Amino acid sequence: MRKISADLIITNTGRPLQKAVLIFDETTGSIVEILDNKHGVGDIQHYRGVLIPGYINAHCHLELSHLKGVIPTGTGLIPFIKGVVSLRDFPQEEIDDKIVQADREMYENGIVAVGDISNKSDTASVKSISKMHYYTFVEMFDFLQDNNAEQTFAQYSKVFASQSQHNNNKKSYVPHAPYSVSPSLFKYVNEMNQSGDSVSIHNQELEAENQFFKNKTGDFLEFFDSFGIPVQNFKPINGHSIQYTLHHLNPSFKTLMVHNTRTTKADVKLARAWNNETYWVTCPNANLYIENALPKYKNFEDCYDYVCIGTDSLSSNWGLSIFEEMKTIKKYQSHLDDLDIIKWGTINGARALGYEHLGALKKGNTPGINLIDVDVNQDKFDLTQARRTIKIV
């Protein structure tokens, strides 16, 4: 057994603990006990800073790791998507090597579980032996072409079959985004997943998405035209894109809305009424990389317990670190409470992905343990001043 303490221990099950000791099994990583007081406990290793559970990366594209630094910053979403599509053809050996490196980077950065988008089978072998848990979202898109839905599903069913559920990994079929999934393809998502599964969808990343669904105007018309995709039969809904998603997606799933940089408070309220297990995944560094924009986090203040954090991919980020994402959030949104942000990066993501044994430091859990190296004054600290994160177990 190993006994550790720190200036502050955040368990995510109650108030932060100032004079406590955490006892865990080094072999299994299981939490054996958390004692409020160190009195009478010997052989304690004390750390400067804050102990927290392992990080949850609720949104990643591991298979795009070979594109790090390839697509320039500040392009905007539509040029970025075009870049990703046109730059897929790298040597497979290089793709595989970068996937291995990215998996290792996340693990070393204290991440214990990942919600990962897969359009191909490239990541399957790494996930089967990774030290982290993966919830693989096999992401489908037919760009609103109902007549292509059956063929599209057949294509992605092979990707789904390749993804192992070994090592407590999970998988489900998911829609890519409102503007890229037809009603017929949504039906496959609804029929092939089980109630209570987690699904993910990119949501409201730019205003053009809402414009397209409201009155069929904006930059997405040129986007579809540039790929020769006919949209003459598409009928606008005089509403935001999220309303299209809510109309076609089964509300029995845990639903991860990802990015949300143009999501309004009214959109949040509508989605919460549709499904109270709607989670809002923010990827701040990716949003800054692509659009130089962030969500209006105050729009989510009534449901902070359902906000999660992701890194997106190395094609749209400088690294894969939930710690760095948390620091970015605090830097640009100083009104947010540090404890809320830590929950976003830990327990909220664990709940969204259905990993109940993660996200909280409590007896019987195997959540991983990280240290945030930061100065603590009684029970106060500032994430923007945190120096680094250290993986303890």
Do 146 and 37 belong to one domain? no
**Average pLDDT for 168-173:** 96
The domain of 43 spans 2-52+363-391
* CA atoms 114, 73, 306, 329: torsion sign: positive
What digits encode the pLDDT tens for the residues 256-303? 999 999 999 999 999 999 999 999 999 999 999 999 999 999 999 999
pLDDT of 19 > 80? The answer is yes
Instruction: For residue 238, count CB atoms less than 10 angstroms from its CB and return exposed for 0-12, middle for 13-18, buried for 19 or more.
Output: exposed
Q: Is this prediction's pTM over 0.85?
A: yes
CB neighbours of residue 195 within 10 Å: 9
Tokens standing for 94?
A: 């290089």
pLDDT of 308 > 80? The answer is yes
Do 59 and 13 belong to one domain? no
Do 299 and 382 belong to one domain? no
The answer to whether position 358 is within a domain reads no
pLDDT at 165: 85
Half-sphere exposure of 64 (CA within 13 A, CB side): 28
Q: Identify the H or E element spanning 57.
A: strand 55-60
Rounded CA separation 304/310 (Å): 15
CB contact at 8 A, 323 and 109: yes
Do 214 and 234 belong to one domain? yes
Do 38 and 98 belong to one domain? no
What digits encode the pLDDT tens for the residues 175-186? 999 999 999 999
pLDDT at 121: 97
Alpha-helical runs (H) found in the chain: 77-86, 92-108, 124-129, 149-162, 183-192, 207-215, 220-226, 241-248, 265-274, 284-290, 322-332, 338-344, 347-353
Do 219 and 157 belong to one domain? yes
pLDDT at 286: 98
Number of domains in the chain: 2
Angstrom distances, CA of residue 391 to CA of 130, 323, 375? 16, 11, 18
CB contact at 8 A, 221 and 182: no
Do 339 and 385 belong to one domain? no
The answer to whether position 236 is within a domain reads yes
Do 254 and 369 belong to one domain? no
Do 7 and 147 belong to one domain? no
Q: Which residues in 197-226 are b (16+ Cβ under 10 Å) and which e?
A: bbbbbbbbbbebbbbbbbebebbbeebbee
CATH number of the domain bearing residue 36: 2.30.40.10
Do 71 and 187 belong to one domain? yes
pLDDT of 173 > 90? The answer is yes
Assign 82 a pLDDT band (cuts: 50, 70, 90).
Answer: confident
pLDDT at 42: 85
What digits encode the pLDDT tens for the residues 314-337? 999 999 999 999 999 999 999 999
Task: Sort residue 122 into left (φ over 0), alpha (ψ -120 to 50) or beta.
Answer: alpha
pLDDT of 160 > 90? The answer is yes
Do 345 and 383 belong to one domain? no
What digits encode the pLDDT tens for the residues 88-146? 679 999 999 999 999 999 999 999 999 999 999 999 999 999 999 999 999 999 999 99
CB contact at 8 A, 26 and 393: yes
Angle between helices 149-162 and 183-192 in degrees, nearest 10: 30
Beta bridge pairs of residue 369: 53
Q: What is the average pLDDT score of the chain?
A: 96
Higher pLDDT among residues 19 and 97, named by residue: 97
- Give me the numbers of helices (H) and strands (E) for the chain, helices first please: 13, 14
pLDDT at 164: 87
pLDDT at 88: 67
pLDDT at 187: 98
In a 3-state reduction of DSSP, which class is residue 309?
strand
CB contact at 8 A, 372 and 332: no
